Amino acid sequence: MRIPTLILGGTGYVAGELLRLILDHPHFELCGIVSDSQPGSAAAEAFSHLAPRLGDQSFMDEAGAISLVCKHPRLAILSAAPHGVSASLIDRLLNAAHQAGTQPRVVDISADYRYRSPEAYAAVYQHAHGAPARLKDFTCALPEHLAVAPTPHVAHPGCFATATLLASVPLLALGLSEPLLFVSGVTGSTGSGRKPVAGTHHPQRHSDLYSYNPLMHRHIPEITECATAASGVSAEFAFVPHSGPFARGIHVTVQGSLSSAMRGKLSPQDALIAIRQYYADAPFVTVTDNPPRLKDVVASNHARLSVATRGNTIAVMCVIDNLTKGAAGGAVQWLNRLFDLPETTGLLASAPGWT
C-alpha cells in the first residue's frame, strides 16, 4: 500500500532532502508540498536536482493541505516548517483531520514540539508556543533511544542534538562517565538554512573554522532534556559549536571523566565493546575501531561512532549528515515506525564517499 505523504515548509534544504527520500520510498507517496512563500510555483524551480522526479509538481498553500488531510483516511505529514510556524500549522491540520474523521501521523523536524512544556520552549526561543495544548501528543527522541513512541506524533531532535545524543547517551546510560560532558561540534553550512546570512556566506566561511554561541547554543536545553529521558541520568552539557568550511555533515566529540565505578577498570577496548553492544540493534549506527570520517556518512542516514580512553578521560566521536540522519532521514526513520514499516525502509543507501 502506498501512503500519501504531505511535506510542510517545502522550500528549505531539509524539505529538499525529505523530497529526495520520499520520491524513492517504496511505501510513501508524495501527495503535496506546502509553501506559504511560493504557492503555485513549480517545485522543480526550488530543487533543480530533483526536477526529473518532481515533474510538474507545484507548491500548494495551507488550504490545499487541509483538503488533503480531510480527504485521506491515512496520511503521513513531515514538517520542515520554520520554528515558530510549524506548531500552529500542524495544530490547524490536525484539528481539520479530527473534524473530518481522518488520522494523519506527524513527524515534526522543527523545534516546536521538542520540549515538554510551553515554558521550556519559550525560555529558549523567546516567544510563546504556537499550540501548547498539542505538546502532549508529541514525543521527542531519537529512534535509537526509544523503541516505541508513546504518542501518535513525534518530534525529531535537531542535527547537533542528534550527533551529541548518539555519542553521549551510552556514556550516561551505561554509567561509563560522570554526568558532566564537554561537547565540541563542527557543522556544515547547510545547517544554517537556505536563506543567506553573514555566517554562511561562502567568502566568509570558505577555508575557515570558527566557534559561535559557545556554551550558549539553543540546542543545549534540548540535548539535556532528551539525554535525561533516554538515559535516566540528569547530566550537564558544556557545548561549543563550530562552523565548518563544508556544506554537509556534523562531527561531534563528547568528552568526560570516567565514573568512579569505571576508573582504573575500563580499557579502550572495553569502552568500544560497551558502546558497540549498546547500539547492537541500531541498524544505522556503526561503532568503529578508528575515528569516524564525515565522507563515510554524508548524504546517508548512517552514523559512525568511535571511542577513546586515557587515564580517567573518555571521549566519543560521532559523525552524521546534518540534513539526513540529523533531520530528514531521521524523520523518515520515525515515520516508518509510525506506520508499522521496518525502520530501514527507503533509507539503506550508502554514503557516496567522494563528495
Q: Which residues are catalytic?
A: 159
Find, among 65, 57, 2, 6, the residue nearest to 31 by Cα: 6
Grid cell listed for 40 = 503555485
In sequence order, what E strands does the chain have? 3-8, 28-33, 76-79, 105-108, 138-140, 153-155, 180-187, 210-211, 236-243, 250-257, 285-287, 303-310, 313-320
For the range 53-58, what are the long-range contacts, defined as Cβ-Cβ under 8 Å and sequence gap of 24 or more? 53/23, 53/24, 54/19, 54/23, 57/30, 57/33, 58/33
- Residue 138 φ then ψ, to 5°: -120, 145
All residues at 6 or more sequence positions from 195 whose CB lies less than 8 Å from its CB, including other chains: none
Asked whether the beta carbons of 3 and 26 are under 8 A apart, the reply is no
